[in-house]
Structure 1
Amino acid sequence: MSDPTFWVLVGFLVFVGAAVYFKLPGMIGKALDERGATIKAELDQARRLREEAQALFVDYQRRQREAEKEATEIVAHAKEEAARLIREAHEDLEATMTRRRQLAETKIAQAEAQAVKEVREAAVDLAIAAAASVLKQELQGDRASATMDRAIGDLRKHLN
């Protein structure tokens, strides 16, 4: 019995017997089944997470398209608003220029009327002075003074 092969066989049989006695194959099978179930659960969870990530990605792409569309609309609206404001500014400028032109024309007309009035008054005064000079030379005495005063008064009435 000194053959080493015999003792290896005996050791192996004792080991297998102990493993069966302590239900080691069942425990190993159970551990492998539990590990398989854990791996399956992790795979299922990974699949769910992947699907959720894809759904989120699709949602973000949709939101990005909507944001780009909204940004385009905002830019278009801003351009329209800017064009409207420019039109209004031009219209306001034209209205202001028209008012200023009318005001200047009114002032010019008033200045012309004032100048005409002053020229008429100067002409009246000059005509009165000329008439008085002529009448003084032609008429002499008391009668001349009364006639001249009356003519000057009539002249003022007719010229004004």
Structure 2
Amino acid sequence: MAHHYEHFYLDPKFWVAVSFVIFIVLFGKLAWTKATQMLDGRGARIKAELEEASRLRAEAEAMMAAARKEREQAIKDSAAMLERAKAEAERVAAAAKAEAEASARRRERMAMDRIAAAEASAVTEVRNAAAEIATAAVRDIIAQKHTAAADAPLVDSAISSLPAAFKAA
């Protein structure tokens, strides 16, 4: 049984439809506002995150460039230090070699001086020993062969030759 109303606005279906449309319009507007606010907020967060990522990337690139420069400078510095160390090692080696050679020459000179001193001492000892032996031999010969009368001309001759001996010495 279908009811037929004289005017359409008297039909409850019409009012249900009108209220449904009003509800959808109000709820739709509210839902649309909330959805757009949520999407705008999310868009703003994404934009901020992208800006932050861009800023971080720029910082990372700057840090990477600085690190590369520092690494290159460190490589240059280490190469310079290595060259200085090599030069210093060569200088120290040359100085040590020169000092060793000088020390060897000093030792050789000291050894030669010792040898010369020992040789001079040996020559002096030999001369002294020869003089002592000659003196003892002359004493024995004079004691055996000379008398006081024979010694007088020898003593006179020795005394007369003293001024010439002093001049020679």
Q: Give TM-score, length-normalised by structure 2.
A: 0.73
Q: 2:112 aligned with 1:85, yes or no?
A: no
Q: Name the count of aligned residue pairs.
A: 150
Give runs of aligned pairs for residues 140-155 of structure 1, distance below 5 A.
140=147, 142-143=148-149
1:135-154: CA deviation from partner (whole Å, max 9, x where unpaired): 223224x5568889999xx9
Which among 52, 66, 76 is matched to residue 59 of structure 2? Answer: 52
Q: Take 2:20 and 2:60, find their aligned partners in 1: how far apart are those partners? A: 53
Question: Which residue number corresponds to residue 17 of structure 1?
Answer: 25
1:45-79: CA deviation from partner (whole Å, max 9, x where unpaired): 11111111111011101101111111111111111
Q: Take 1:63 and 1:93, find their aligned partners in 2: how far apart are those partners? A: 43
Q: 2:113 aligned with 1:106, yes or no?
A: yes
Q: Which has the higher contact order (CA 8 A, sep 6+)?
A: 1
Change (3 A) 1:149 1:121: farther
Structure 1: any 5+ residue segments left out of the alignment?
A: none
| Greater alpha carbon shift after TM alignment, 47-56 vs 126-135 | 126-135
Q: Take 2:156 and 2:118, find their aligned partners in 1: how far apart are those partners? A: 34
Change (3 A) 1:146 1:14: farther
Report the secondary structure of 1:35's partner residue. Answer: helix
Question: Which residue number corresponds to residue 26 of structure 1?
Answer: 33
Structure 2: any 5+ residue segments left out of the alignment?
A: 3-13
1:6-28: CA deviation from partner (whole Å, max 9, x where unpaired): 9xx789636513414x6221222
Q: Which structure has the bigger radius of gyration?
A: 2
